[in-house]
Amino acid sequence: MKAMSCHSVQDRLSEFLDRLLADEEREKVAAHLASCPACSARFQSFETTRATLRRMPNLPVSAALAMKLRVLASHERQRRLSRASVSAWLRYCHDRASLQFDNLMRPMALPFAGGLLSALLLFSMLVPNLSFRHTVGDDLQLVTYTEPEGRLVESLPADGAPTWFWTGNSPEPTLESADAVDSGKDTVLELIIDETGRVADYSVSHGQLTAEMRSIILLSRFTPATLNGKNTWGKKLVRFPSGPRRTRRNVRS
Amino acid sequence: MATAIIEFHPETSAAAEPDDQRLIEALRSGAEPAYEELLARFQQPVYTLCARLLNDEGEASDVVQEVFLKVFRNIGNFRGQSSLKTWIYRITVNEAHNARRWFFRHRRREVELDTDPNETRNWRDTIPDSSRSPFDVAFDREQAILIQAALDRINPVFRSAVVLRDITDLSYEEIADILGISLGTVKSRILRGREALREELIKGNPGVQRQWRLVPKTAE
């Protein structure tokens, strides 16, 4: 039987260790190992390494990982079952949707209930002490607004001496603030006054546009409204009383 | 001359065994006990394989979940050309390989903030085994650390072959099936892997130049 070289034996050491060599080859390797200390030492270290590898402690699966795997298996099983029929699929979708909804709502339920209860408790404690006093004037006035002011003019004087005249036949109309209460009976002319004091637009409620109104619109001049000292647009109401006709009189400024 | 201590295992059939077929059919039909049986049979070996291939228990946990997700989702497509075990191990080796590549690309510079897994073990894991002496336990732990470090330093191609052979205890045919390589290549990789591991262990133990031996167990 021809002896093997060290190189040949070393190439076969792994298979020899795993008992995968044919009988004849195995005997040759065994004979070489018995006579060659270097190869024998090499084989011994192979064997020791493998023994240590096999004796390495088994790494236990942690409880957390085992639980995750069970949950994963459960989900995948449900997923597989849901594909069996349409009704199973619909039930699966419904279960998932309700689970998602529960998961979404559950974290909010306690804070919401707690907040609501504490709000109710606080409110019920505070209600007897609540008072609704109006502290008008305490606030710092941030916006100053003045309404447009002026006198109504039906016609301009011939000599130019008096500035403002009322020469109409009807009872003298009154100039009122834009937020005055409308009685519903009087004819009201609403004037929009621009920043130069002229009438820019108008509208008539409860009546027709008369010649007097036209004159008022054309001839009247106003001190424009101001907002924080600057001229701005404003609104005024001209109320024409619906009472009995009074005597004619002049209005001088 | 030292003798091999491992017993020779007759080669297992490459095709799925009848027991596997029953389990696969039950999994396909969505039977709950089948899912539990699959986990009971494979979660421990798959986790050990991942942990030994990756040397990172946290990473191994993630990979195990990926493996079982793929197994559950693809069991319908499993044709039974290989055994269930080799199919699952093939997925495990591929996933571990992908995780390792991803790790080296993305997470090399990250700082680990998780607590040490050893600190989160429950009390059962930390109670010492009374059947073995504290010296043996400490010695084996030291050896395991050394060998794991050496495994981590060798070429991943050889490491897969050695781990599948010597830790997972698979036959050469099963390893060839799992890695998708020829039997000759498996033999070559195991030999070269063992050589590389031996050299790394000698490098890691300067006091043991020519061979490193284990001290006999004192408890036996």
Q: What is the CA radius of gyration of chain A?
A: 53
Q: Which of A147-161, A200-214, B186-200 has the lowest mean pLDDT?
A: A147-161
* Interface mutation vs chain B, best among A6, A14, A25, A29, most B CBs within 10 Å: A14
Contact list, A44 vs chain B (CB under 8 Å): 2, 211, 213
Give the pLDDT of residue B87.
93
Give the one of B36, B65, B190 whose C-beta lies nearest to A14's C-beta: B190
Contact list, A50 vs chain B (CB under 8 Å): 6, 166, 194
pLDDT for residue A181 is more than 50:
yes
B72 vs A82: CA distance, rounded Å = 14
pLDDT for residue B152 is more than 80:
yes
Contact list, A33 vs chain B (CB under 8 Å): 1
Amino acid identity, residue A192? I
Instruction: Select the more confidently predicted residue: B92 or A145.
Output: B92
Instruction: Select the more confidently predicted residue: A103 or B203.
Output: A103
pLDDT confidence tier of residue B139, bands split at 50, 70 and 90: confident
The CA-to-CA distance between both ends of chain B, in Å, stands at 22
SS3 content of chain B, % helix, strand, coil (to 5): 70, 0, 30
Domains of chain B plus CATH, in order, are 14-105 (1.10.1740.10), 132-220 (1.10.10.10)
pLDDT for residue B158 is more than 90:
yes
Is residue A35 within 8 angstroms of chain B, CB to CB? no
Please identify which residue in the block is written with the tokens 């060290």.
A6
pLDDT tens-digit series, residues A220-253:
778 888 888 888 888 888 888 775 544 444 444 3
Is residue A30 within 8 angstroms of chain B, CB to CB? yes
- How many helices and strands in chain B, by DSSP H and E? 9, 0
Cβ separation B211–A54 shorter than 8 A: no
Is residue A72 within 8 angstroms of chain B, CB to CB? yes
pLDDT for residue B175 is more than 90:
yes
What's the mean pLDDT when you consider all of chain B? 78
Domain positions in chain A: 6-54, 76-101, 147-240
